[in-house]
Amino acid sequence: MNIAIYYVLAVLAGVLAGALITYLFGRFPDKWLQDYGVKPEDPDYRPSKRMRPFPEGLIAAVFCAVCYVVTIYFCKSCYIDEFRPMHLAVIVLVIPALMLVMMADKLNRIIPNQFSVYIAFCGVLSIAAEVLEGSVWFSPDAKWWMLVLNKVIASLVGGGVIWLIGFLSITFLGKEGMGMGDMWLLFATGLITGCYGLVVLIYVSIFSAVIFAVPLLIRKCKRVSAEKKRIANAENPREEKLKIQREKAAIHFAEDPDYMAFGPFLALGCAVFTVMEPFFFEKMFMTIKLFGVYF
């Protein structure tokens, strides 16, 4: 088949996936998109935000289309020419779910457990794909249980690290560091990436988060400076300071301008690894072999 046809199909599949998740996002129960334990009768209850055709729907379609196109570019020889349908199925199924995670955490500051369960299912399918169709990270002589163990260890380590960060933050700082949604997400994505891919996921997540955090920090510094100036110029500085504090207290946690959700970056890291897995293997192979962890 002509390579151009593959790219056209990838774009069409991405557009359809974007339209589908935009529709589904509007149909999910409200409680899925609320923080744990929040009820409509609560005084600080805020109806969950939904994806709109524009800009969220357009962003979703572009993201899915780009991911599928990148898959053709980097994975054609490994997954299409050698025909590994289960590997392709994992990519097709998990990319829209990762986009849903990004949207849910960005719009409502929550990663529904249902999304993580679905991604974990894709992870189980990924394990089956590697056992039945082979893995680029292991030699054909590797035992099947090594492929399974690679995924399980990555899942436990990824979720465990997030849990530990949250535990230490609550214990010593008295505030939540990483949410349970992030923990379950990394637990699920670990089943897809495996140990080697977990390194890529974390690297991409942190690097991309820093890029977005810098302008956020600059904006916060400007806002704090403006607040100090506002207090200094007020006739009653103390009353003005209390007024600013009340304004901040009235902001719903999902609308907090100083908060940056980390879930979207974890999802992005998983997506980048998933659609470029053979590429990362080629770049990391010599290092893996040097450390004696190529089996």
Tokens of 141: 């002589």
Q: Are 60 and 97 in contact (CB under 8 A)?
A: no
Residue 295: inside a domain: no
Enumerate residues 6+ apart whose C-beta is below 8 A from 225: none
pLDDT of residue 45: 86
> Is the pTM for the entire model greater than 0.85?
yes
- DSSP character at residue 110: -
- What pLDDT does residue 231 have? 87
Tokens 């700082």, located at residue? 173
User: Among candidates 187, 29, 205, which has minimal Cα distance to 119?
Assistant: 187
Q: Give 37-73 pLDDT, tens digit per residue.
A: 788 888 778 899 999 999 999 999 999 999 999 999 9
Q: Does residue 44 lie in a domain region?
A: yes
At 90 the pLDDT is: 98
Radius of gyration of the chain (CA): 22
Integer Cα distance of 292 and 295 in angstroms:
8
Long-range contacts of 71-78 (CB under 8 A, 24+ apart): 71/10, 71/275, 72/3, 72/6, 72/7, 72/10, 74/275, 74/276, 74/277, 74/278, 74/279, 75/275, 75/276, 75/277, 75/278, 76/3, 76/6, 77/278, 78/136, 78/277, 78/278
CA 262 to chain centre: 8
pLDDT at 127: 98
Alpha helices per DSSP H over the chain: 3-25, 58-75, 85-108, 113-133, 144-168, 180-233, 237-249, 263-275, 277-290
Q: What is the pLDDT of residue 94?
A: 99
DSSP 258: T
Query: What per-residue confidence (pLDDT) applies to 40?
Result: 84
In a domain, 35, yes or no: yes
pLDDT at 32: 95
Please report whether residue 258 resides in a domain. Answer: yes
Q: Mean pLDDT for each 10-residue chunk of the chain (295 residues)?
A: 92 98 97 86 86 97 98 96 96 98 95 97 98 94 95 95 82 70 95 96 96 91 88 85 80 75 95 97 88 78
**CB neighbour list of residue 52: distance below 8 Å, 6 or more residues apart:** 22
Identify the domain containing residue 35 by its residue range.
Answer: 3-290
Taking the C-alpha atoms of residue 285 and residue 72, their distance in angstroms, rounded to an integer, is: 21
Question: What pLDDT, on the 0 to 100 scale, is given for residue 174?
Answer: 64
Burial 29-64 (b: 16+ CB within 10 A, else e): eeeebbbeebeeeeeeeeebbbbeeeebbebbbebb
Q: Are 91 and 104 in contact (CB under 8 A)?
A: no
The number of distinct structural domains making up the chain is 1
The DSSP symbol for 141 reads T
Please report the pLDDT score of residue 177 as a whole number.
63
Q: Can you give the pLDDT at residue 17? A: 98
